[in-house]
Amino acid sequence: MMKGMMVVITTQNISKRFNDVLALNDISLHINKGAVFGLVGTNGAGKSTFLRLLAGIYRPDSGSITIDDQPIWENNEVKRRICYISDEQYFFANATPLEVARYYNGIYPNFDLQRFSELMQGFELTGNRKINTFSKGMKKQLSVILGLSAGVDYIFCDETFDGLDPVMRHAVKSLFAADVADRGLTPIIASHNLRELEDICDHVGLLHRGGVLLEKDLDDMKLGAGKVQCVLPEGVEPSSLGLNIVIDEQRGQLHTLIARGTQEEIMAKVAAANPVFMEFLPLTLEEFFIMETEVAGYDLKKLFI
């Protein structure tokens, strides 16, 4: 949990079953106001079910969900502060973006038609064109535009970046980041792609088989481990450096070490061995999770193949 931030979304021991399939099992999470929370998991891990529970579309079989200390189920006042962007885009038959925007304007009290128009122009989408002629990526863009224009406090995104080209992905991430900074928007972004989340999220949870395998604040993770590449003198092994090494990958004489500790501690211990070459590298989000899940007895590389 991030220090100095207020918890606004709490799930307590929630479970959800569809016939004989247990989609979520005893999930407890706390999400802070203004945090960009990334929900990572393979297909079938329970990400979509979790978001639909948060949005009040599904009701948990057990446990509780509160947003700002209020239950979400059948609570229209809370739901007006939430926009859920589904993985599959659904719009009224033969509707245009302008018609959908007017519909949203009747539901969300803070819907901003001017911002909607500006974002439509920025994304080069036509407001009076039939949505059923849009590509998948264009429909995703429209959903994001509607969500940002709604003026809600919470946006729940299910595979929102899937189907967007790299330029549009960057644009959407920038818009989310601006709303987080400017008005305290709290996005929850579900994805099967760790790399999609590492440059926008500050807190990440990993779902696996309906349960939370890992939940971490990225700042805490970055402080607790580091990666160094080095070529050690002949006869010196990484195990003799005094490091708490989690991963050691070797290619020829080059070792890539992931170890627990601060950058200063890791570099000092490697430097003490008088290496031929030494370079400290940033850890990717994928490497953080590989490190943490291997310690817990899971092989993340296998989970995400």
pLDDT classification of 1: cutoffs 50, 70, 90: very low
pLDDT at position 186: 94
160-180 residue pLDDT tens:
888 788 888 889 999 999 999
Same domain, 75 and 138: yes
Pairing of strands 37-40, 186-191: parallel
106-131 residue pLDDT tens:
999 999 999 999 999 999 999 999 99
Q: How many domains does the chain have?
A: 2
| Residue among 78, 49, 47, 70 at smallest CA distance from 61 | 49
- The dihedral sign for the CA sequence 124, 128, 134, 138: positive
Q: Which residue has the tokens 């802070």?
A: 32
Residues facing residue 154 across a β-bridge? 82, 186
pLDDT at position 2: 42
Check residue 39 and report its DSSP letter. E
215-273 residue pLDDT tens:
878 777 766 788 999 999 999 999 999 999 988 999 999 999 999 888 899 999 999 99
Same domain, 70 and 12: yes
Q: Looking at the domain assignment, is residue 87 inside a domain? A: yes
How many angstroms separate the Cα of 245 from the Cα of each of 234, 241, 249, 260?
A: 19, 9, 11, 7
pLDDT classification of 191: cutoffs 50, 70, 90: confident
Using CA atoms, how far apart are residues 79 and 57, in angstroms rounded to an integer?
10
pLDDT classification of 34: cutoffs 50, 70, 90: confident
| Residue among 44, 34, 40 at smallest CA distance from 181 | 34
Q: Is-contact 280 266, C-beta < 8 A?
A: yes
Structural domain boundaries enclosing 101: 7-209
Q: Looking at the domain assignment, is residue 131 inside a domain? A: yes
Q: State which of 171, 189, 209 marks the end of a domain.
A: 209
Give the chain's mean pLDDT: 88
Same domain, 248 and 194: no
Distance between the two ends of the chain, CA-based, in angstroms?
Answer: 29
Using CA atoms, how far apart are residues 304 and 43, in angstroms rounded to an integer?
9
CATH of the domain at 61: 3.40.50.300
Burial class (CB in 10 A: 0-12, 13-18, 19+), 170: middle
Both tokens of 223, joined, read 């402080």
How many angstroms separate the Cα of 231 from the Cα of each of 5, 242, 275?
A: 42, 16, 6
Both tokens of 274, joined, read 């008088």
Does the structure show a pLDDT above 70 at 48?
yes
pLDDT classification of 11: cutoffs 50, 70, 90: very high
pTM value is: 0.80
